[in-house]
Amino acid sequence: MNVTDWYPIQFKPILKEKIWGGQQLKTFLSKTDQDLPFGESWEIADLSNGQSIITNGALEGKTLGEVMSAFAKAVLGASVVERFGEKFPLLIKYIDAADDLSVQLHPDDILAEQLHNGKGKTEMWYILKAEPGAQLIIGFDGEMTPEKFDASVANGTVNDNLQYLDVKAGDSFFISAGLIHAIGKGIVLAEIQQTSDITYRVFDYNRKQPDGSLRDLHIDHARKALNYTNPDDYILEHNPTTIGAQVLKHCPFFKTDITLLDHTPYTIDRTDSFTVLMMVAGEMVCTHQGEAYHLSLGETLLIPADCTSVSIEGVDAKFLEVYL
């Protein structure tokens, strides 16, 4: 494997069937032509149960894990490798919730290491599409204590104590480790998260899987991870009509800006970190060394740290720019 000139990298989506999945990854984001209940499209993944495969350029056919093993500093940037190691530190997804996802939460790095020898999961969401009346669950509605939580689990009233938020396209939210949450039905969103697939289900509506069984709950682990107090930073504000880049969320695990283009070219030229572009509206063209990469709604591009001076053009195109 040899790369002399780094370039923007594209991947084949990894589609995950889910009990709550629908058809929006096919009809809205054009990820597949299969009529299956896909709930997630893993756009960039470096996990044992999901390895992104490169679809363009000199690295075509290689997995992200293979490329990270050989070229971690060139892809991530030396400072990112120093902080996060040689595994790609983020999992990039699109999610289609045709039905309610389970009420759940995720551990932080310390607990995930102790219990699973893995990474924690802090994440953020950007809403691409929401049916009228669609809601998210984020945090508790009112005061919560360990004793009150245990009682609500025992008597099946967890949902009565949760905070429900109406949402629309363009809304964005930050879900820190330990924050109880759920994506409601009728929502399509972009998700940026730590490279982790650890979830603690607290309530799953008593629905049955195709074989008639109920999905496992993880109450004991959830008690250890749960934040009983709602944080004050879960709603991410931005002006949807502002031209140029705005900060959505900068945290220790990722930095995400949202950018709206007009007729002025936009340049990505950072060398200390990779950059992920997620198209959330319109179309745009990224150009590097004369090669054009066309992106439309729902498409994703990875710009390695050693790939500099990528020019972006588009009118009324909007994208998430993710880096470290």
The DSSP symbol for 239 reads: -
Predicted local confidence at residue 277, as pLDDT: 98
Q: What is the pLDDT of residues 235-248, one digit of tens each?
A: 999 999 999 999 99
Does residue 209 surpass a pLDDT of 90? no
Largest CA distance in the chain: 63
211 φ/ψ angles, rounded to the nearest 5 degrees:
-85, 5
Q: Which two tokens stand for residue 123?
A: 């994440």
Give CA angle at 43 (40, 45), nearest 5°. Answer: 100
Half-sphere exposure of 277 (CA within 13 A, CB side): 31
Q: What is the CATH number of domain 11-236?
A: 2.60.120.10
* Helix residue ranges per DSSP H, the chain: 24-27, 64-76, 78-84, 109-116, 146-155, 219-225
Q: Is 207 a catalytic residue?
A: no
Q: Where are the domains of the chain?
A: 11-236, 244-323
Buried/exposed 67-106: b ≥16 CB within 10 Å, e otherwise: bbeebbebbbbeebbeebebbbbbbbbbbbbbbbbbbbbb
Collapsing DSSP to helix, strand or coil, 145 comes out as: coil
191 is in an annotated binding site: no
Q: What is the pLDDT of residues 214-229, one digit of tens each?
A: 899 999 999 999 999 9
Collapsing DSSP to helix, strand or coil, 39 comes out as: strand
Predicted local confidence at residue 59, as pLDDT: 97
Label residue 78 by pLDDT band (50, 70, 90).
very high
Check: CB of residue 154 under 8 Å from CB of residue 217: no
123 is in an annotated binding site: yes
Does residue 198 surpass a pLDDT of 80? yes
CATH architecture label of 244-323 = Sandwich (2.60)
Does residue 138 surpass a pLDDT of 80? yes
Half-sphere exposure of 68 (CA within 13 A, CB side): 22
Whole-angstrom Cα distance, residue 178 to residue 120? 10
Check: CB of residue 123 under 8 Å from CB of residue 193: yes
Q: How large a percentage of the chain has pLDDT more than 90?
A: 93
Average pLDDT over the chain, rounded to whole?
96
Predicted local confidence at residue 210, as pLDDT: 86
Does residue 80 surpass a pLDDT of 90? yes
Residue 29 CB coordination number (10 Å)? 22
Label residue 1 by pLDDT band (50, 70, 90).
confident
Predicted local confidence at residue 4, as pLDDT: 81
106 is in an annotated binding site: yes
Does residue 2 surpass a pLDDT of 90? no
Label residue 151 by pLDDT band (50, 70, 90).
very high
218 φ/ψ angles, rounded to the nearest 5 degrees:
-135, 55
Label residue 68 by pLDDT band (50, 70, 90).
very high
